[in-house]
Amino acid sequence: MTALFWISALIVGYVYIGYPCLLAVWARLVDRQPRSSAFDDGDWPSISIIIAARNEARRLPERVKNLLDQAYPGPQEIIVVSDGSTDAPSAALAELGPGVRLIEVPAGGKPLALNAGVAHATGEVLVFADARQRFAPGALAALVSNLSDPRVGGATGELLLDCEEQDPVDTRVGEGIGLYWKYEKWMRRNESRVWSTLGATGAIYALRRLCWTPLPSGTLLDDVLEPMRAVLNGYRIVFDDRAIAYDRASADAAAESRRKTRTLAGNYQILAQEPRLLLPIVNPVWLQYVSHKIGRLLAPWALVGLFASSLTLARGNSLFAVPLFAQGIFYGLALAGAIFQQSERFGRIAFTFVMMNFSAIAGLAALRRGREVWR
């Protein structure tokens, strides 16, 4: 039990404290900013903006107008792939001009819809977006400008949630989600400075057409699998906070838990889809991947091991009563955050932390049961 305690404590400490500290120092020392500059007039690459949507007809007109308002300086096309929609997307897009194409495919899931969109795309650069979010002015040009560096295979933008504002959304998890997402973007920004991010934000990212590989059916995280395949082929995926998309946080804890369960189930799935990620001689960001992605999958089990070993060891050694007491206080705050809508701030943050770690265990269970968790 003593060994379990210390191993668990080391895993949790490294994932949430040790690795971020290492990353901060590492990024400052190497600081590999992409050699990006605006393309000369007439040299901007052609882009294909791809949106996979199911029953999003009411959102599509405004979303497409937002993309057209970007005034991208090069050739562009917008491809909307209807994944078995039944709400007449063709009527919603009818008046938006010849630069917008609708591809209708039978319902088969987002990965197959994206494959269909890419198959019809003519652009040198693929830009992926969702129906729900909106791009800030200049986001497309900022995103694509990174590809002027030949080492860069793709770029991901910054997703700003409403709960990151000074007056966050009034939900039980709003403040906790906002803090977590700021922390996650800080990690991505610094991993990009070291060499490459470990994925992209699906709502706003660009990828060279030559880096695309058709997605397997049932893929949960296309925005991690595709960028990581590019990294395995020697390219960088960079984070650019000039390219901004706006979105709303999950309305409640249940919705956020479902979203996080899908994400973490996808992280397990990718290990089977791309086992090369586990090989340090193949993966140029192996240390970052193991520390960040694998670490997040191990941390929930380590938290369980830490609590169980503390509970057992505290009966025979009063020194272990201290970490047991600290964990009891923390989980008590999390419980208060779960029960009371307007709980004290630390309770909401503790609840979000516990919920997100629980989602890693739930994600593995869902994946093993074969549940469809991508939507």
User: Where do runs of H (alpha helix) occur along 197-291?
Assistant: 222-232, 253-273, 286-289
User: Rounded to whole angstroms, how far apart are CA atoms 237 and 68?
Assistant: 25
**Using the 8-state DSSP alphabet, how is residue 104 labeled?**
E
CA angle 147/150/153 to nearest 5° reads 60
Sheet holding 134-135, edge to edge: 100-105, 76-83, 47-53, 125-129, 204-208, 152-161, 236-247, 134-135
Asked if residues 203 and 245 have their Cβ atoms less than 8 Å apart, the reply is yes
Model pLDDT for residues 100-134, shown as the tens digit of each residue:
999 999 999 999 999 999 999 999 999 999 999 99
Task: Write down the number of H helices and E strands in the chain.
Answer: 13, 8
Between strands 152-161 and 204-208, the pairing is antiparallel
Q: What is the pLDDT of residue 164?
A: 58
Q: What is the pLDDT of residue 70?
A: 94
Q: Which two tokens stand for residue 308?
A: 């169980």
At residue 375, the pLDDT reads 43
**What single DSSP character describes residue 109?**
-
Residue-level pLDDT at 181: 84
Per-residue pLDDT tens listing for the chain (375 residues) = 899 999 999 999 999 999 999 999 999 999 988 776 678 777 999 999 999 999 999 999 999 999 999 989 999 999 999 999 999 999 999 888 888 999 999 999 999 999 999 999 999 999 999 999 999 999 999 999 999 999 999 999 999 987 555 554 445 556 667 788 889 999 999 999 999 999 999 999 999 999 999 999 999 999 999 999 999 999 999 999 999 999 887 666 677 777 778 888 899 999 999 999 999 999 999 999 999 999 999 999 999 999 999 999 998 888 889 999 999 999 998 888 777 654 566 777 888 888 888 888 888 887 777 654 434
First and final CA of the chain: distance in angstroms?
Answer: 40
Residues 6+ apart with CB under 8 A from 153: 207, 208, 211, 227, 230, 231, 233, 235, 236, 237
For 243-296, write each residue's pLDDT tens digit.
999 988 766 667 777 777 888 889 999 999 999 999 999 999 999 999 999 999
- Residue 173 confidence (pLDDT): 56
CA 275, CA 339: separation in Å to the nearest integer? Answer: 41
> pTM for the whole thing?
0.90
Angle at 133 between CA 129 and CA 138, to 5 degrees: 75
Taking alpha carbons only, the member of 343, 355, 358, 353 closest to residue 170 is 343
The reported pLDDT for the residue numbered 198 is: 96
